[in-house]
């Protein structure tokens, strides 16, 4: 291995350690909001974004943290200008703005999505979410999901990572919003083991 490659490898390791330390620090400051001690790994990030393609633009990511899924979405060919990140934690927001030039970063609660026009009147083609729904109360989950599905195109899907054995969305909320969730992937090669759920509107379209 050449000297330049070795130096790049070392730089990547240092960046990864820094990312993990930032994440852990923010977790201890606010465990309920951050929801996990470490960021998602490359296997989970790959599974979370497996169906994302440039044609889904504009793409929305909720709760990007330090950007594990952001990197994977961009690697799928989505242009930085077609990707919008919505994150509540201001430390993460500052870091995301620095690490992902050209990507739109909004430091706000996903439940407030309908209060602002972030997409210039366009409907979102796909949503990738790391928001810890398992830790939310039903009314908090309701506020986020109703706002997000309001800005999504009718056939668009929301991809959600979770660390539990079943869907992280409260059943009453799914029923009320007429949504259906399917587990599309899972992996033990992540700490903690992760699953991916795909959430869409039911085809009967009761409310939409």
Ligand X SMILES: C[S@@+](CC[C@H](N)C(=O)[O-])C[C@H]1O[C@@H](n2cnc3c(N)ncnc32)[C@H](O)[C@@H]1O
- Range 139-178, binding ligand X (CB under 6 A): 144, 161
Q: Which of residues 106-145 bind ligand X (CB under 6 A)?
A: 109-111, 130-132, 144
Q: Which of 49, 60, 69, 148 binds ligand X (CB under 6 A)?
A: 69
Q: How far apart are CA 193 and CA 45, in angstroms?
A: 12
Q: Which stretch binds ligand X (CB under 6 A): 3-11, 59-67, 145-153, 180-188?
A: 59-67
For the window 73-112, what string marks contact with ligand X as x by the rule CB under 6 A? Answer: -------------xxxx--x----------------xxx-
Q: How far is the CB of 188 from ligand X (least distance, A)?
A: 16
Minimum Å gap between C-beta 67 and ligand X is: 7
Residue reference for tokens 């961009």 = 74
Residues forming contacts to ligand X in the complex (CB under 6 A) are 33-36, 39-40, 62-65, 68-69, 86-89, 92, 109-111, 130-132, 144, 161
């Amino acid at each position: 291995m050449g000297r330049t490659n070795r130096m790049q490898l070392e730089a990547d390791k240092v960046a990864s350690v820094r990312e993990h330390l930032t994440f852990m620090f923010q977790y201890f400051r606010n465990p309920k909001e951050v929801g996990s001690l470490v960021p998602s790994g490359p296997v989970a990030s790959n599974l979370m974004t497996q169906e994302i393609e440039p044609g889904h633009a504009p793409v929305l990511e909720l709760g990007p943290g330090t950007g594990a899924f952001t990197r994977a979405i961009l690697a799928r060919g989505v242009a930085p200008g077609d990707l919008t990140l919505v994150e509540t934690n201001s430390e993460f927001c500052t870091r995301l703005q620095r690490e992902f030039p050209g990507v739109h970063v909004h430091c706000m609660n996903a439940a407030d999505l309908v209060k602002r026009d972030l997409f210039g009147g366009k409907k979102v083609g796909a949503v990738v979410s790391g928001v810890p729904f398992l830790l939310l109360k039903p009314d908090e989950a309701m506020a986020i999901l109703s706002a997000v599905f309001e800005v999504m195109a009718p056939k668009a899907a929301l991809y959600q990572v979770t660390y539990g054995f079943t869907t992280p969305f409260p059943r009453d909320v799914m029923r009320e919003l007429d949504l259906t969730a399917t587990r599309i992937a899972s992996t033990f090669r992540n700490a903690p083991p992760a699953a991916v759920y795909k959430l869409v509107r039911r085809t009967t379209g009761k409310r939409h």
